[in-house]
Amino acid sequence: MLIGEHMLALRRCATQLTQMERQAAAQSLTQLAAGGMEWHADSADVLPRLSQEALRTRIKRHIEENLGADSLDVANLCRRFALSRASLYRLFAPQSPASYIQQRRLHRAFAILVSPAFRPWRIIDVAIECQFSSDATFIRAFRREFGITPGEARERSLRSANAPPDDHPAEPRPDAESARWVAQLTGAMPQLSVLRTERRR
């Protein structure tokens, strides 16, 4: 079982490794098969450090591409990447994977709130789109992450857009990844409007 999980993990990240890293990974698999390595819980424990980084990068990319899916959670990631819960948590340490997912959703929410294309959206619409169960839960999490409420983020964005170029105070901003996503999302606004209506029913 352990060897099989190790082989699956190597296969997932093989294209992202250098020749030297692939050789090190293959050697670790050989040692594992020969019984020369200490027993570990699952494949992520025996992957070389750089292989773990490649796997973590793949998982984060998957998270980024599925932030709007209500099925995205720790259990989903464990199934998809053939990892135990403990192993997934070690990959993301010191931050938990659940906390990372919420943080990415909050940054995506910030990008929506400050985008002119999404001005008609209510706070609850943004909360639903970013998989928060209620606007109250969303507002609390948003304030913890950015130090301001979603409404304040939108209001400051409006003021900043109307202010002279030299009159922009330093304020929280969405990260570049979230900003790029919003630019792509703008073209899908009609479909999203339908989805939001269905989710509220």
Question: What pLDDT is recorded for position 86?
Answer: 94
Q: What tokens does 57 get? A: 């990068």
Name the region of 147 (left: φ>0; alpha: ψ -120 to 50; beta: rest): left
123-130 contact pairs (CB < 8 A, 24+): 123/150, 123/151, 125/196, 126/150, 128/196, 128/199, 128/200, 129/68, 129/192, 129/195, 129/196, 130/67, 130/68, 130/105, 130/106
Mean pLDDT for each 10-residue chunk of the chain (201 residues)?
50 58 56 45 52 90 94 96 93 95 96 93 95 95 96 90 51 58 48 48 51
Question: What pLDDT is recorded for position 51?
Answer: 81
Question: What pLDDT is recorded for position 92?
Answer: 95
Q: Give, to the nearest 10 degrees, the angle between helix 49-65 and helix 19-33.
A: 110
**DSSP three-state, residue 93:** coil
E strand or H helix at 169: none
pTM for the whole structure: 0.62
Question: What pLDDT is recorded for position 52?
Answer: 85
Question: What pLDDT is recorded for position 53?
Answer: 87
Question: What pLDDT is recorded for position 134?
Answer: 94
DSSP state of 147: S
Domains of the chain: 2-94 (no CATH), 101-200 (1.10.10)
Q: Quick check: 77 and 101 in contact, CB under 8 A?
A: no
